[in-house]
Structure 1
């Protein structure tokens, strides 16, 4: 007993310490420098409630909005990098209970290899985000509001499997131009069946007249870097999904009849966006337009319908950061192009948001209050509060 007591009172020296810092992940490099890996973990805990203005009914819920694991680094040579991101929450992995995903959870978000074969040139292969609208490409960890806008929810082209070619070049003393060309399968992430339609082709062009943003600030919300000189990014994306089998191309339900007959149509999507930052002020604007080559839809046995998502939308948001706190406002309007053939319903949403950045986007508390005006439905008042932690 005396020996046991002595052992328990000895100082504990087994604690593992590393040089890693909060929000930067755990980083390791092989002793022969043949590979590196950074591991990160993050999650968002969300409360959301909404009031139906007509019925005066209040509904709410708590949930883990996102929970992700991310791995990235280089393999064999620093010019060959990789990224793997896995989703863990129920919202992350849902939607895979269809034959096209082998009725399994859609855990894999990113699994992509990137080869920088020449200065300012890189080739990507695998599953990752397409170069679509800016708001979608911005990580869900680094948003200005609790979540993305209705424009993004209805029109984004999300992730896909294929190849991408990236290039950037300087124009004059400060300006930068960037080009991205992608060819992908066209039906979204984690598809296990043969390609149903044709391929998807995406081209994105970006122009930064005042040079690069600090810390890649053109792709995170809020001016956390407090740009000392004005910075502006202007971008445009055109996406053509040949023989789209899903309502939104890479997203939505497969447009199939109750007898299994699969419809297809060509979907064309245009995005135009801009991002401006200066001394704590930020402004982002986006326009989206999606069109179908054929006016078709499916009527199911229960008389419900499956339609393609076509129409247009605009989103404008701005915020001002003081110390570690930011107030922001957002306006979004979504409109279908055809009431008979589009799955869209016209909506206008006004949002006021507040964020407290404790450690940038790695540890923050965000809340927002929205009023949604629906042309064909009851108007809603919604409140959300969410904390994010990222290691």
Structure 2
């Protein structure tokens, strides 16, 4: 990690010197502008280098998120305080206009998996693109298709966090856009390893688990495209849409043998069939979502349902002694459904207010070992956009109404309610 950081700093320094040389040459001889590279830096848009009259371009950017988190179980427990760096990322991307290709690399210096994304893309035209590599998939809820730096609240909803582990996968991703009069249709298809990011583990002999994962998303925009390239890629209406805009989406994924509780990781547990061979359940997720914006107002609604299926009986050991029941499968996979609704408004002076409700409903509500717990989340957030997402401060507070349980030894009711507060400052460079 230290060597990578040194390399990035050296590359950045040499790039800055290179850009300064270019600017000085152009200042001395403006006629060189048409025959040389140009460089620009804007907060939130990174350092951009354009070469060969725009045929080739490179961009270096990233963002930082110093964060604070307070949590207290109800009613009388002592609260816990956490100070941490939520994200510290470096991005490098490039485009070759004539060759119709592009690439993107994102590294995080906080997460144990430092490589978040690494993909190359071929652009058939401005409407169709094929991606190969590790990237954020569109087969999750709409909020999880939004980059972490462009969230309208401090964190994603409980729906997003419960049914998705990281949102990045390795495979093939095809996106397309079709205009139907003033309406827009966006079909997208993904075929991935089904094992999340860094799917080959720590080395090349750490094999994938299970089979492939197949998924797709279909978005329908009946009132046309949102304003700007980021209009549909974030929830808050920072563009202040002059006319109503709506995106209605549906997505599914089918993971043929998942060894992660949400189907986007691998190797978290082992299951076996009756012959003692390693085998996993097929994990299925289905989402429906709606995003609407108009003159600073934004509304997001989402629904998800997940299930696990297997043609064979499954066991926790290769001796095949104790067979998994439906309830016990919920201790390995997130099974159930959830819904989320969020309403927000961004004032012209850059202040933003958001309110969100999320309900989690496990398939086996009375099974105490179920991963998904019955909870109702009530969250309120406030944001100050100093320069849109490039420089902002956000705070949120949540009350979590958890299902009460019974202490089997004392027969006392145990409340699982809690309150949370979060604060984050962000800069995109």
* 1:46 and 2:67 correspond: yes
- Tell me how far 1:20 sits from its aligned partner: 1.8
Runs of at least 4 residues off by over 3 Å: 14-19, 30-35, 75-78, 260-263, 294-299, 339-342
TM-score normalised by length of structure 2: 0.78
Tell me what 1:387 maps to: 425
Matched residues, number:
359
1:95-153 deviation digits (Å, cap 9, x = unpaired): xxxxxxxxxxx111111111112451211111101112110010110001001011001
More strand as a share of residues: 1
Q: Would you say the 8 A contact 1:268–1:291 is kept in 2? A: yes
Partner residue in 2 for 1:353: 381
Structure 1 gap ranges (5+): 1-13, 94-105
2:288 to 272, 275, 291: 272
Deviations 1:177-234 (A, max 9, x none): 0000110100100122322211000111000001000013111121100000000000
| 2:220 match | 207
* RMSD of aligned residue pairs (Cα, Å): 2.5
Find the counterpart in structure 2 of residue 35 from structure 1: 56
Go from structure 1 to structure 2 and tell me whether the alpha carbon gap of 1:52 and 1:261 turns closer, same or farther (over 3 Å shift).
Answer: farther
Match of residue 399, structure 2, among 371, 374, 377: 371
Residue range with higher mean Cα deviation, 15-24 or 379-388: 15-24
Distance 1:182 1:226 in 2: 32
- Larger mean CA deviation between 28-37 and 306-315 belongs to 28-37
User: For the residues of structure 2 that align with 1:226 and 1:78, how far apart are their CA atoms?
Assistant: 36
Distance in structure 2 (CA, Å) of the matches to 1:78 and 1:390: 29
8 A Cα contact 1:255 1:262, kept in partner: no
336, 346, 350: which is aligned to 1:321?
346
**Contact kept in structure 2, 1:45 and 1:387, CA below 8 Å:** yes
Q: Is the 8 A contact 1:39 1:69 kept in 2?
A: yes
Give the secondary-structure state (helix, strand or coil) at the position aligned to 1:219.
Answer: coil
List alignment gaps of at least 5 residues for structure 2.
Answer: 1-16, 24-38, 201-205, 318-327, 406-414
Tell me the equivalent position of 1:117: 124
In the alignment, the residues of structure 1 paired with residue 315 and residue 370 of structure 2 have an alpha-carbon distance, to the nearest angstrom, of 9
- Contact preservation (8 Å) 1:38, 1:71: yes
From 157, 165, 170, the equivalent of 2:179 is 170
Structure 2 SS opposite 1:290: strand
1:191 to 199, 210, 215: 199
Deviation of 1:287 (Å): 0.5
Q: Which residue is 2:11 aligned to?
A: none
How far apart are 1:250 and its partner, in Å? Answer: 0.8
C-alpha contact 1:113 1:125 (8 A) present in aligned 2: yes
- The residue number in structure 1 matching 2:362 is 336
